[in-house]
Amino acid sequence: MTAKLDSKLFTDLEDQVNQEIHAAHNYHQVALHLDALSFPGAAQWFKRQHAEEMEHADSLASHAIDRGHMVKLRTIREPTILSASLTDDPSLGSSAIQIAFEIAEQVEQVNTDALTKLFRAARNTGDHPLEAFVAPFVSQQVDELADIREKLDILRRLDGDEGGLYQFDLNLGK
């Protein structure tokens, strides 16, 4: 077993576990709203993101456990990032899917910042195992954000075109 984490660094890692669960919670909420608004493909895409964030939480927690720590889960904060921008009000219509991906961009930006902070803390503490462990998470964020921004570009180009949005939603479910 690798030595225990420095206590401040452990708290940072535990924060990140809880942050990933909060991100999952945000994705879950958006998925439910998209489902209610009859975007089944997009709802599935957001449910997959929810599952992915929960896997990240588990994986980060495993590292702490492998280093002899006990990880504590906290109360999950409400999906506040949604604010009033996405509701299940059908009058939102075709703009709902664009709002959903704008939320995804925010979620991933917050996650990117938090993971980068954790990476830097591991580096500054000289904890090479944690630094190496977190590195793939940081670089994966580049792909995540690029994928979401590409989808937003397509949505802006579609400019509410119903046929195009139908196809876009269908593809997201695949």
**Minimum distance of Fe ion from residue 68's CB (angstroms):** 24
Residue that the structure tokens 């990933």 belong to: 20
**Minimum distance of Fe ion from residue 56's CB (angstroms):** 4
Q: Is 108 in the site for Fe ion (CB under 5 A)?
A: no
Nearer residue to Fe ion within complex by CB, 25 or 56: 56
Rg (CA), the chain: 18
**Sole binder of Fe ion in the list 14, 53, 127, 169 (CB under 5 A):** 53
The residues, ordered by sequence, that sit 6+ positions from 148 with a Cβ below 8 Å of its Cβ are 101, 104, 105, 108
Pattern 11-50, binding to Fe ion, x per CB under 5 A? ---------x------------------------------
DSSP state of 75: P
Within 10 angstroms of residue 89's Cβ, the number of other Cβ atoms is 11
* Strand, coil or helix: 131: helix
Task: Determine phi and psi for 84, rounding to 5 degrees.
Answer: -105, 10
Nearer residue to Fe ion within complex by CB, 115 or 172: 115
Q: Is 56 in the site for Fe ion (CB under 5 A)?
A: yes
**Minimum distance of Fe ion from residue 162's CB (angstroms):** 33
The residues of the shown chain that bind Fe ion, judged by CB under 5 A, are: 20, 53, 56
